[in-house]
Structure 1
Amino acid sequence: MAGVLDSVNQRTQLVGQNRLELLLFRLKGKQIYGINVFKVKEVLQCPKLSSIPNSRPMVKGVAHIRGETIPIIDLAMSIRLPGIGREDLATCFVIITEYNRKTQGFLVAGVDRIVNMNWEDILPPPKGAGKDVYLTAVTRIDDKLVEIIDVEKILSEVSPLEESVTEELRSRSESRAPGLKPVLVVDDSSVARRQIERCLTTIGMEVICRNDGKQALDYLKEITADGSKATDHLCLIISDVEMPEMDGYTLVTRCKSDEAIKGVYIMLHTSLSGVFNKAMVQKVGADDFMAKFSPDELAERVMEIVDGLQ
C-alpha cells in the first residue's frame, strides 16, 4: 500500500472526465468508507506514536515520518464511533493526507483497495441523514454501501481554522463600489460553504450556494434560459473540485463550452493541493485556482478579481 499513489501524469488523465479514484478502508465493523486518492500522500502500517499533552481524545499522538511530525487522528472516534484501542495499533494503518495545506494521518482499522469511479455514481447523503452527519457522499461498490467522509468537517472540529477576515481587509472592502453581482459558491461540504460564505459576506458580497456541480450547472442554465448571459447575473463562480454527481473540473469544462455561461470567471477553490492542480486547472480552462482555506487570501483575491472585471 506504500505505493498507493500513481504518477501525476497518469492521474491527471482523469481530469475533465468526471472520474475519481477512491481508496477504500474500514474503521470498526464491516462498513466500507472511501477517500479520494488525490488527497492521499501515503498509506502505511501504524508507526510508533508519541503522545501530545492536552490534545483532543481523537488525536492519538504524533508520528515522525520522512522528516515530518504528523498528527495521527483516530478517524472512527472523530465521527463518533468507538475508537481504536492502543492495544490494536500494531495491526492498524495510517492514511497520510493533505487537506487545506496541512498534513495529517488518519488511523483506520484496515485498507482495502483503490477503485476507479465516475462522479455520477457518487451521490449526496440521504436527505434524512441530518445536519450532524459526517458524510459528503455515498456510493455502491460490489452491491455494498460506501460512505465518503466529510474530512473538512472533522478537521474543523479537531483543529479549527481561522475563519474571520482581518479588520484591514474589511475596511478596504467598505470603500468599494456598491451593487456588485452575487458570487456563486459550489461546495458539497456544509462546513466549507459556511466558511466561504462568511468570508465573502464580510467583504460585502452577496453569495448564492449550491451543493455540487450538477446543481450549479442546472442553476446557471436556469438563469440564462431567457437568452441572457451568466455574467449578467453573477460576477464570479467559486467551486470545489471534489463533489458528488459532477466534480468541479467537469463543471468548468461544461461551463466553458456553453456560449451563455463561458464568460463568467471561475475559480477552483479546493482542499486538494500539489503541483498537479496547476496542470488540471490549465487543462479544463478554469480562470484561477486557490488552495483552501485562508479567509484573508480568499477575500483579497476575490476583491482583485471583481474589481478587475468592473
Structure 2
Amino acid sequence: MTKILDSVDQRTKLVGENRLELLMFRLNSRQIFAINVFKVKEVITRPPMNKMPGSHPSLCGIINYRGKSVPVIDMRAAIRMPAKAEDPAGGNVIITEYNRTVQGFLIGSVINIVNTSWSDIMPPPSTAGRKHFLTAITHYEHEGRQEIVEIVDVEKVLADIISYDVEISEEVLEDEVTPLLRGKKVLIVDDSSTARNQIRETLQQVGLQVIERQDGLQALKLLQSWADEGKTVTDEILMMFTDAEMPEMDGYRLTAEVRNDPRMSNLFICLNTSLSGSFNQAMVEKVGCDRFISKFQPDLLVQTAQERMRQLIKLD
C-alpha cells in the first residue's frame, strides 16, 4: 500500500479538475468508508502502541512514526460504531495530516484507491440527522455489486477529540480596520458543519455576518443569482472563504468559475483547507485564489478579512 501512495504528489494534477482520489477501507464491518488520498501520508500495518492513561476513549495510544510520537485514533470508536472484536490480523493505521497535525487512524482492511469526480460525491441524506460523522457518500462497484461508500468527516472526528480554541488574539486586531468589519457579510463554503461552526464563531467576534453554503455548486449558484439580479457581488459580500474538498464542486473549480465570470471575477477568495502540502500554493496560483490558509487558525482568518478591508479602504 505504501508504494501506491508514493506517487501522491504527482496526483496534484487532479486538483482543479474537480476530481479526487479516495482511499477506501473497512472497519471490521461490511460498510465501506473512505478519506481523500491527499490527506494520507502513508498506510502501515498496526505497530505497537503505548496507551496513555486518562486519554480520550477513542485514542488507541501513541506510536513511533519516523522518529516522532503520533497519536492513533480508533476510527470505529470515533464515529460511534458499536464495539466489535479486533481484527485478528491487527488491522492497519492510516497516517494522515489534517490542520497542520499528524495523526493515525486505526482501521481494518484497505480495499483500494479510486479516482473519481466530485460530481459523483453526494451529501449525506438529510434524514441522517446531525450526529453522523460523514461529509458525503458515493458509490463504488466492488466484487460485482454496487456499494455505498461513506466518506468520513475527519474534521468532526478530530474536533470531538481535540478542543479547538476560536478565541482571537488581541494583538491581531487593528484599531483602524477591525471596527469597519462590523456588519459586513462573508460567504463561507465548507461541507463540514464542524468547520463552518469554527469559522462562523471566529468571524462573528469581529462583527462579521456569515452566509453559509455546503459545497461549491451551492455557492456558485448563490453568486450567480446575485449577478443575474443585477447586484454587484462585491457589494453583497466582503469576501469568500472556501474549503478545497467538497461534494458536487470543489473549491478550486469554484474559484476558477468565479474568475471566469466578469460579473464576479474580482471577488476576494481565500482557500481555507485542512489539506497540507506545498502543492496548495501552486494550486492557489493556478486557479486564482487571493490567499491560502490551512485550518484551523482563527487569527489568520481575521487577519485575512482585515487585509481585504484595507484593500477596499485604499480603493476608496
Task: Calculate the TM-score normalised by the size of structure 1.
Answer: 0.95
Q: 2:197 matched to 1:194?
A: yes
Match of 1:22 in 2: 22
Q: Distance in 2 between matches of 1:279 and 1:88?
A: 41
Deviation for aligned residue 1:14 = 0.8
Q: 2:220 matched to 1:217?
A: yes
Unaligned runs of 5+ in 2: none
Match of 2:184 in 1: 181
Match of 1:80 in 2: 80
Match of 1:105 in 2: 104
Report the AA paired with residue 23 of structure 1: L
Match of 1:123 in 2: 122
Report the AA paired with residue 259 of structure 1: P
SS in 2 for 1:277: helix
SS in 2 for 1:35: strand
Over residues 52-78 of structure 1, what are the superposed CA-to-partner deviations in whole Å (9 max), with x where a residue is unaligned? Answer: 111011101000010111000000000
Contact residue 186 and residue 212 of structure 1 kept, 8 A: yes
Within 5 Å, which residues of 2 pair with 1:23-172? 23-83=23-83, 88=87, 90-142=89-141, 143-169=146-172, 172=175
Match of 2:211 in 1: 208
The verdict on how the C-alpha distance between 1:179 and 1:296 changes in structure 2, with shifts beyond 3 A counting, is closer
Q: Distance in 2 between matches of 1:202 and 1:174?
A: 14
Over residues 70-129 of structure 1, what are the superposed CA-to-partner deviations in whole Å (9 max), with x where a residue is unaligned? Answer: 0000000001113465x6474300000000111000000111110000000000000110
Q: Distance in 2 between matches of 1:55 and 1:173?
A: 44
Deviation for aligned residue 1:245 = 0.6
SS in 2 for 1:157: helix
SS in 2 for 1:177: helix
Report the AA paired with residue 141 of structure 1: Y
Identity %: 47
Match of 1:298 in 2: 301
Contact residue 241 and residue 269 of structure 2 kept, 8 A: yes
Deviation for aligned residue 1:160 = 1.6
Report the AA paired with residue 51 of structure 1: K
Q: Distance in 1 between matches of 2:83 and 2:132?
A: 17
SS in 2 for 1:281: helix
Contact residue 178 and residue 206 of structure 2 kept, 8 A: no
Q: Distance in 2 between matches of 1:79 and 1:211?
A: 21
From 243, 246, 249, the equivalent of 1:243 is 246
The verdict on how the C-alpha distance between 1:8 and 1:24 changes in structure 2, with shifts beyond 3 A counting, is closer
Deviation for aligned residue 1:305 = 2.2
Contact residue 184 and residue 207 of structure 2 kept, 8 A: no
Unaligned runs of 5+ in 1: none
SS in 2 for 1:4: helix
Report the AA paired with residue 129 of structure 1: A
Deviation for aligned residue 1:2 = 1.2
Q: Distance in 2 between matches of 1:210 and 1:261?
A: 17
Contact residue 74 and residue 84 of structure 1 kept, 8 A: no
Q: Distance in 2 between matches of 1:297 and 1:147?
A: 32
What is the aligned residue count?
309
The verdict on how the C-alpha distance between 1:194 and 1:97 changes in structure 2, with shifts beyond 3 A counting, is same
Deviation for aligned residue 1:229 = 2.8
Contact residue 170 and residue 202 of structure 1 kept, 8 A: no
Q: Distance in 2 between matches of 1:147 and 1:125?
A: 8
Within 5 Å, which residues of 2 pair with 1:223-302? 223-302=226-305
Q: Distance in 2 between matches of 1:73 and 1:100?
A: 16
Q: Distance in 2 between matches of 1:81 and 1:175?
A: 44
Q: Distance in 1 between matches of 2:176 and 2:113?
A: 46
Mean CA deviation greater in 282-291 or 208-217: 282-291
Match of 1:5 in 2: 5
Deviation for aligned residue 1:175 = 5.3
